[in-house]
């Protein structure tokens, strides 16, 4: 009888440990989930910040590209103007009056 009672007590202890293992696993899973969320939240915030910075950078880049295109067009215009002036100066029949006339008709100061 004592042996049976002792055996039943051992089985009861084993059953209790098995039930406790399930609780320990659940507690461990909760702890890991909380830890993961604690680590992920700052990363999510940083990701949102980086995405905002990326949008701002793209906007600035587009503006810079428009400015570069405008400046390139202006440089081309000025190169053509200088070429016309050079041709006028190098013309064998060039006179000071002709060159001044060509320059005064073709040059418009920038706004």
What's the chain's length in residues?
111
Token pair, residue 54, equals: 């990326």
pLDDT at 61: 98
| pLDDT tens digit sequence for 45-78 | 999 999 999 999 999 999 999 999 999 999 999 9
Which CA distances in Å does 10 have to 17, 30, 52, 86? 11, 30, 62, 109
| pLDDT tens digit sequence for 88-102 | 999 999 899 999 998
């Amino acid at each position: 009888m004592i042996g049976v009672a002792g055996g039943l007590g051992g089985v009861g202890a084993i059953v209790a440990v098995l039930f406790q293992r399930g609780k320990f696993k659940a507690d461990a899973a909760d702890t890991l989930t909380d830890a993961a969320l604690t680590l992920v939240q700052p990363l999510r915030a940083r990701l949102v910040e980086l995405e905002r910075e990326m949008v701002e950078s793209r906007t600035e880049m587009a503006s810079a590209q428009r400015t570069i295109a405008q400046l390139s067009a202006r440089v081309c215009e000025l190169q053509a103007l200088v070429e016309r002036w050079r041709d006028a100066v190098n013309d064998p029949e060039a006179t000071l009056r002709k060159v001044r006339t060509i320059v005064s008709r073709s040059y418009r100061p920038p706004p």
